[in-house]
Structure formats: C-alpha cells, structure tokens
Structure 1
Amino acid sequence: MSLSLNFNEGEFKRQMAAAAQSGLQQLAREQTSDFDRLRQQYTGRPVEEIRPALQRLFARYDGKITEPELTEWAQMISDGTPIEFKPEKIRW
C-alpha cells in the first residue's frame, strides 16, 4: 500500500490569508461598534470622564494606549467623532 501526499503551498497560504482577513474584519467591526457605543454614551462629556471607559475598552482587547493617544481619542469621543476600524489587507 502506498500513500501519496501533495501539498499546495500557494493554496494553503491563500486559505490562511482569507481566514485571517475574515477574523480581522470581524474584530474591526466589533471594535468599531464598541467605540460607537462609547461615542453615543459620552458625546459632550468631559475628557477626564471618558478616559477610564476608554482604558477599560482597550484592556478588554488586551491592548495598550499611550497617554497622549488616550487624551486624543477621549477628545474625539467627547466631540462625537465617529471612529471606524478598517483592517489592512494581509500580504504574505
């Protein structure tokens, strides 16, 4: 009995990239939705009130945000600016 295995590396990479891209798109939709909820809840509120909520959101995604970014994003939320996440296309 003989067993033959053919591995198509190009097809494998294509399928892996498609799966990863799909996952990134889903994550971007979730994060955009989370930021939209913050915007709806905190538009017009002081930046200092928004900062802790923004830090909690980043922590939920195991993310980190620097001090200047935290203030900048909190200001955008206070101003009612929509924040949308769009993943870049995966390139191998």
Structure 2
Amino acid sequence: MRYVTSIERLAKAEGIEQGILQGILQGSRENLIEVLETRFGLVPSSIVEVVNQIEESAVLKTLFKRAIAIPSVAEFQQILQNIASQE
C-alpha cells in the first residue's frame, strides 16, 4: 500500500473543494439562464457568454433574483453590462 503524505492529502482535499465550488458556480449559471429562458424565451448568446464567465457566486445569486422580477431581457443585459464594467 502506497504511503500518502499530508501534502498529498491536502492537495487532494483542495482539489475536491475546488471541484465542488466549480460545480456550484456552474449550477448557478445554468439556473440563471433557465429562469431567463422561461420568462423570455430564447436568451441571446451574448448574455449566455457573459453569465458563463462570472466566477462569483454572490453576483450570480443577485442576478438570479433580478432575473425573476426584471421586465425584459434588454434590461437584464444592461445590468450585465454594468457588472462587467465594474470588474
């Protein structure tokens, strides 16, 4: 049986944690796009591309809440542009 060092265990744990976080982010992105599709039909690819580049779960959560109540895709796109210009 191979001996596993504490550094190897730590690296494995960090990798698992990173994978979980990436999975949560991807799920949040997909949920956001699904809400937009449900409300407005086809979502422009420009919106999908920007959403898929967001790496902060708090930003995705805020956008998700806004997507539920926003009156149009155009207004949502404006919010995305404002967020992108702040980064």
Greater relative contact order (CA < 8 Å, ≥ 6 in sequence) = 1
Greater helix proportion: 2
Question: What TM-score comes out, normalization by structure 2 length?
Answer: 0.47
